[in-house]
Structure 1
Amino acid sequence: MQLRRLSPFDRINALQALVDAGLLLVAWALAFWLRFNLDVPAEYRYVALVTTPVCVLSYALSLGVLRVHRQVWDFIGLPDLRQLALGVVLGGVLTATVILMLRVPLFPRSVLLLHPVLVLVLLGAVRAAWRTLIEHPGRTHAGRKPLVVVGSLQDASGALRALQGVAQWQAEAILSPVASEVGRALQNVRVLGSVGELKEVCDFVHAHTVLVASPPGSPERREALMLAADARIAMLHMPRADQWLSPQPEGVRQVELEDLLGREPVQLDVAGLAELFSGQTVLVTGAGGSIGSELCRQIARLGARRLVCVDLSEFGLYALEQELQQAHPNMEGLYYTCNVREYGRLHAIGCEHRPTVVFHAAAYKHVPLMEEHNAVEALRTNVVGTLHAARAAAACGARRFVMVSTDKAVNPTNVMGASKRLAELVVQTVALQERATEFVSVRFGNVLGSSGSVVPLFTRQIARGGPVTVTHPEIVRYFMTIPEAAQLVLQAGLMGRSGQIFVLDMGEPVKIVELARILIRLSGKTEQEVPITFTGLRPGEKLYEELLASDETSEPTPHPKLRIAKTAGPLPEIAAVLRWLEEAGPQPAGEELRGWLRRQVPEYAPAGPVASGGDAGAREHVADQLQPDERVVQLHHPLLERHR
């Protein structure tokens, strides 16, 4: 029979076990030596020798049961030392029990107390000495790149522990936002200054990379982002919680779109959502889009048994299918090409699979495209498509229906926003007619990185060398991440009551021009190399977006970041809406369409020749609302002012 060759790890474990055994014997001898004041009588030497096997076997059993021999001494920490202490205590108890049961003559019982203490000291000391040797500065710095950590000592401690397993980086300094922490040290890494001294400290320690350990939304995170971009210093962040749980967790990561937010990303009720979706069938329309696909990812992660994905885009469905099959092989995924304007197809899909929850994310959302030549298409998809999806959900017995809406539905100035507001009203109307299903809508702002959003456009323009085009120097928008948007929709599905419209507390709006400047800096360029040009507001575009209309109020929910919009006004007559859209034909006149839409949505104030005096007043209201500087996140910094 051929013996299995020992791996390097097996050999290391065996060597560590031999060292521990040797130290056990040394501790046994020392215990007798100390008991008899450094001079052990001959008869007691014999007792010590006879009982040695009992000691070794007892400790070998206890330490083996607790797998102490599998510890890696290079990264020994407090949990490992606690495990070692427990093993030593068990070994001492077992040794004492056996020796007392054997009634060994002349055995000094004080040795049974001295020995575990000596064992713990010796075994702990050899481990600490080994790690100290491994982390000696001369060894640690070899082949590693210097790194500066940004964050308080509490935040930096986690980052330094994570860096111990990364052979590429060596932390040389900490920059803390807490003034009292400057001059202190953590794991032999000194706090050399505040975040504002980032460039000077990086030059001092010859570091070209910064690791931000502060949580998302913290002021020092944004300050470090601006300073590092201006000094052309590479910037890394710690992984998010969901990335630690991924099959292939990353180490430190590059700056991502989420880092551009001026606030901490919203975290929702994952336990409650898992209870809602676990083992259920869920249907998502618009599943191939940015929001729809993220909804599908999170629903799959929450344990849905069957996920029915509906989209008009064949390629979007194919890409989603490939991703979900690899990430969630045990979930049943069904992928249907379908236009939400075809009720019969939606009804057939819903009745075949009987989903518990339906998420309606299919919509036209591009404001300028829907404003001029495709206004009727926006109405037919966003309004009629929503009506069909809601009715199909009720017909197939779904418990909940959640519609994805937008902040552009508040006091809309464009056809897209007005069509989404009318869709909200249609959902509320269906909610009154279909009592067995809960119908809710969810509003949120611009989604970072979604298809058609401003960040991918700016990124492409910067890659071409510019210019970066911004419509207006004062235009501002609320921003959120794709995971946040999907979580908000899921949370509404969990806690909403029929007819409600949810809004998210998204913090302060961000100036688009400031966002463009940040992206230029992060690309390693300046505004002289990549200029910013202003093109003027596009048709139907606002300077700012609202989440609640002026005649609306809101009420709180159990979640601090979610509120419920309370709307007023009559609901539309669905039959009349369908009849007008049918009679309007394939290309109704723009003024006629906007006039009809304004009668359905009284707060709609279209820009352009259709606007009346009331519309002009609405536009003056927009200008007035922009006056208070506190409503806008001004990413001011002295270094940024040079380029203005």
Structure 2
Amino acid sequence: MSLIQSVLSLPRAYKRAISLLIDSIFLFCAFWLALFMRLDSFSPLFDQGYWLVFSCSLPLSLLVFVKLGLYRAVLRYMNMQAVWAIALGSIFSAMFVIGFSFLYTAGIPRTVPFIFISLCLILIGGSRVSVRAVISHQRWHKKASVLIYGAGSSGRQLATALSQGPEYHAVAFIDDYKALQGQIIQGIPVYSPEEISHVVERKTVQKILLAIPSASRARRKQVLAKIDCLGIQVLTIPGMADIVEGKAKLEEFKDVGVEDLLGRDSVEPKPELMNADIADKVVMVTGAGGSIGSELCRQIIRLKPTKLVLFELSEFGLYTIDKELNEYKQQHDLAVEVLPLLGSVQRVNRIETVMKSFAVQTVYHAAAYKHVPLVEHNVVEGVRNNVFGTYYAARAAINANVETFVLISTDKAVRPTNIMGTTKRMAELVLQALAKTQHSTRFCMVRFGNVLGSSGSVVPLFRKQIKNGGPVTLTHPDITRYFMTIPEASQLVIQAGAMGKGGDVFVLDMGDAVKIYDLASNIIHLSGFSVKSAELPDGDIEIKCTGLRPGEKLYEELLIGDNVSGTSHERIMTAQEVMLDWDELEALISRLDDACHAFDHELIREILLKAPTGFNPTDGICDLVWQQKSTLQQYTADIIELKVAT
């Protein structure tokens, strides 16, 4: 262990005693040097009056330094407060010298106190700056070199925070503002974005930290496009709102969010639409424990309904969201009554009793099976939950005099190639037909694409695969999807529901479709790795295509036909869809119910194909039970045929 490390490891009291001793020596040197420099003679050493002045001034000077808190300041974190303490203490010390000089008629020249102050600042202050520099230099060798993109206030604060931490030290700033380029801030040079590759190579940068928390997502996407090719891990600091609210610290880095890669900025919600169906009302969310359902609950409780009914089949999902909402209630002193209720939307008596008992006024129906391959493998349950669950919930809403019923639909309901999308389109047809039979309950449905971070989302899967060293798997190199963040989707659902007149199909503006292969490549690059390919066989992470899953299609659409019009909200459109009268739909639903009860998958498929859903399956019947049953029947038939032949 070096001498410096030995000293630093001493108890705090010992280090303060050493500081007092060293400062005493510095004061001694400053006093006599000031006299020598002024008088140009060693004669003051033999003057008893000078010794008397110094002897009386020294303890008082040290006492002032103590009172000013100089010895409470940690050297490695020395700031302007310590500098002011040194300056003020030096001035007081000079005043003591002047006072005792008059008292003992020592005859100290008038310029000596000023020279004394200067020497004190140099010796006492300079020694501390030097020690801090040595300690910092030693620690820098153990830190990873990072580049900070953004030399604004957040970037400067981040650089200061890093200098005190044990992991990173900033070697350069990158900033678009030309006035800052070429300058040095806090000892760190500022470069232009065009120089970033040169800086990364020359300064052996290991990570890039984005310090632009207030920038729009479109701007962040532009920045990330410049960094993507460098093959260095990119981390970002939390948003300023989270920092101000105490939800995060400046130095708490996280991976670049995929929403930044998409470059899509959310639109500020309209208060009148957000409050219309929620404020001071009894609101119910089915599927409250799911990805969309739970976020709807978070948005709803902020709008202060009188009661929030959580209806959920999963016990754990219900427990989790109920606990979270009650904690939020306590933190914000809300009077909202949160009611966690277990139940299935397939039990019509249960859901109707719940709606009537609590006089529910608004329902957000998010309960559904949404995972395409799973629904393909469990056709009857998919139909039961998505079609009949919606039908039962809608019937219960009418009987309970619910004012507004909003169905969470999907882009997969458009020209569906799978059972999940087809059942969601059937659910839309049910609500459209019911909307024409009565006027007590307003029915509307909101259709949107994939949400980031939901259960089954590709992004968490990609990050996990990258962490494990790859490969990153996707079904097809050309597959594209629409994406939106869960909070934005939930806010738009609430606002769209408030605009419904009855039977409306709302379509959310999802922006541009995203090629999943490009998304995977960007995440790999921004994680600090390269993509392994035929052109780069030595790359780090391979992207492997596994083939389209049952019912999956390459491209997804949000609209049926071209009869689409805008609304008062720039991100919400409305589409005119093919509809059925209730008599036609009731007959179709009745046949579908009988087919499900009999587990007649051929008939189920026939009904779905004849319904006006646009169903165009790409695979045969994939239900696992049906396939097993068919296999057994074929096996039995083969055995019988073999016995007959023998």
Same fold (TM over 0.5): yes
* 8 Å Cα contact 2:207-2:233 kept in structure 1: yes
**Unaligned runs of at least 5 residues, structure 2:** 1-78, 82-124, 533-538, 622-646
The reply on whether 1:425 has 2:425 as its aligned counterpart is no
What secondary structure sits across from 1:603 in the alignment? coil
Deviation for aligned residue 1:375 = 1.7
Partners of 1:537 and 1:467 in 2: CA distance: 17
What secondary structure sits across from 1:541 in the alignment? coil
Deviation for aligned residue 1:442 = 0.9
The reply on whether 1:409 has 2:413 as its aligned counterpart is yes
* Deviations, residues 39-98 of structure 1 (Å, cap 9, x unaligned): xxxxxxxxxxxxxxxxxxxxxxxxxxxxxxxxxxx899xxxxxxxxxxxxxxxxxxxxxx
**Matched pairs, number:** 475
Partners of 1:273 and 1:511 in 2: CA distance: 33
Task: Give the letter aligned to residue 316 of structure 1.
Answer: G
Alignment of 1:305-320 (within 5 A): 305-320=306-321
Structure 1 residues 420 and 178: alpha-carbon distance in aligned structure 2, compared to 1, 3 A threshold: farther
* 8 Å Cα contact 1:193-1:201 kept in structure 2: no
Greater alpha carbon shift after TM alignment, 286-295 vs 159-168: 159-168
* 8 Å Cα contact 2:408-2:445 kept in structure 1: yes
Task: Give the letter aligned to residue 221 of structure 2.
Answer: R
Alignment of 1:472-551 (within 5 A): 472-526=476-530, 527=532, 528-549=539-560, 551=561
* Deviations, residues 552-608 of structure 1 (Å, cap 9, x unaligned): 322112222221122235356342133112311445444432221122124221113
Structure 1 residues 280 and 173: alpha-carbon distance in aligned structure 2, compared to 1, 3 A threshold: farther
Partners of 1:608 and 1:461 in 2: CA distance: 28
Partner of 1:604: 615
Deviation for aligned residue 1:157 = 4.3
Partners of 1:75 and 1:378 in 2: CA distance: 67
Of residues 575, 582, 592 in structure 2, which corresponds to 1:581? Answer: 592
Alignment of 1:315-394 (within 5 A): 315-329=316-330, 330=334, 331-371=336-376, 373-394=377-398
Task: Give the letter aligned to residue 453 of structure 2.
Answer: G
Alignment of 1:293-304 (within 5 A): 293-304=294-305
Partner of 1:49: none
Partners of 1:305 and 1:187 in 2: CA distance: 53
Structure 1 residues 172 and 285: alpha-carbon distance in aligned structure 2, compared to 1, 3 A threshold: same
Partners of 2:509 and 2:134 in 1: CA distance: 50
Partners of 2:353 and 2:323 in 1: CA distance: 25
* Deviations, residues 401-428 of structure 1 (Å, cap 9, x unaligned): 1111111011111111111111112111
What secondary structure sits across from 2:340 in the alignment? strand
Partners of 2:415 and 2:286 in 1: CA distance: 26
Deviation for aligned residue 1:139 = 11
Partners of 1:564 and 1:170 in 2: CA distance: 52
Task: Give the letter aligned to residue 224 of structure 1.
Answer: L
What secondary structure sits across from 1:402 in the alignment? strand
| TM-score, structure 1 normalization | 0.66
Structure 1 residues 464 and 170: alpha-carbon distance in aligned structure 2, compared to 1, 3 A threshold: closer
The reply on whether 1:227 has 2:227 as its aligned counterpart is yes
Structure 1 residues 534 and 490: alpha-carbon distance in aligned structure 2, compared to 1, 3 A threshold: same
Deviation for aligned residue 1:533 = 1.6
What secondary structure sits across from 1:218 in the alignment? helix
Partners of 1:450 and 1:240 in 2: CA distance: 24
| TM-score, structure 2 normalization | 0.66
Task: Give the letter aligned to residue 311 of structure 1.
Answer: E
CA RMSD of aligned residues (A): 3.5
Structure 1 residues 517 and 307: alpha-carbon distance in aligned structure 2, compared to 1, 3 A threshold: same
Partners of 1:239 and 1:411 in 2: CA distance: 39
* 8 Å Cα contact 2:564-2:575 kept in structure 1: yes
Partner of 1:561: 571
Structure 1 residues 566 and 294: alpha-carbon distance in aligned structure 2, compared to 1, 3 A threshold: same
Partner of 1:255: 255
* 8 Å Cα contact 2:282-2:305 kept in structure 1: yes
Greater alpha carbon shift after TM alignment, 441-450 vs 389-398: 389-398
Structure 1 residues 248 and 213: alpha-carbon distance in aligned structure 2, compared to 1, 3 A threshold: closer
The reply on whether 1:212 has 2:217 as its aligned counterpart is no
Partner of 1:236: 236
What secondary structure sits across from 1:328 in the alignment? helix
Partner of 1:70: none
Deviation for aligned residue 1:382 = 0.8
Deviation for aligned residue 1:293 = 0.8
Partners of 1:458 and 1:441 in 2: CA distance: 31
Deviation for aligned residue 1:337 = 1.1
Larger Rg: 2
* Deviations, residues 507-552 of structure 1 (Å, cap 9, x unaligned): 2111112222233334444434432221211222111101112x23
Structure 1 residues 245 and 178: alpha-carbon distance in aligned structure 2, compared to 1, 3 A threshold: closer
Structure 1 residues 176 and 423: alpha-carbon distance in aligned structure 2, compared to 1, 3 A threshold: same
What secondary structure sits across from 1:429 in the alignment? helix
Of residues 399, 404, 414 in structure 1, which corresponds to 2:403? Answer: 399
Structure 1 residues 520 and 226: alpha-carbon distance in aligned structure 2, compared to 1, 3 A threshold: farther
Alignment of 1:80-99 (within 5 A): none
* 8 Å Cα contact 1:408-1:545 kept in structure 2: yes
Alignment of 1:158-307 (within 5 A): 159-160=155-156, 168=165, 173-177=172-176, 182-183=181-182, 191-194=190-193, 197-204=195-202, 207-214=205-212, 215-218=215-218, 220-221=220-221, 223-224=223-224, 227=227, 230-239=230-239, 241=241, 243-244=242-243, 246=245, 248-251=247-250, 253-269=253-269, 271-272=271-272, 275-276=275-276, 277-307=278-308
Partners of 2:314 and 2:245 in 1: CA distance: 28
Structure 1 residues 507 and 177: alpha-carbon distance in aligned structure 2, compared to 1, 3 A threshold: farther
**Unaligned runs of at least 5 residues, structure 1:** 1-73, 77-129, 611-644
Deviation for aligned residue 1:198 = 3.0
Deviation for aligned residue 1:207 = 4.9
Partners of 2:523 and 2:368 in 1: CA distance: 29
Structure 1 residues 206 and 456: alpha-carbon distance in aligned structure 2, compared to 1, 3 A threshold: closer
* 8 Å Cα contact 1:212-1:221 kept in structure 2: no
What secondary structure sits across from 1:531 in the alignment? strand
Structure 1 residues 374 and 200: alpha-carbon distance in aligned structure 2, compared to 1, 3 A threshold: same
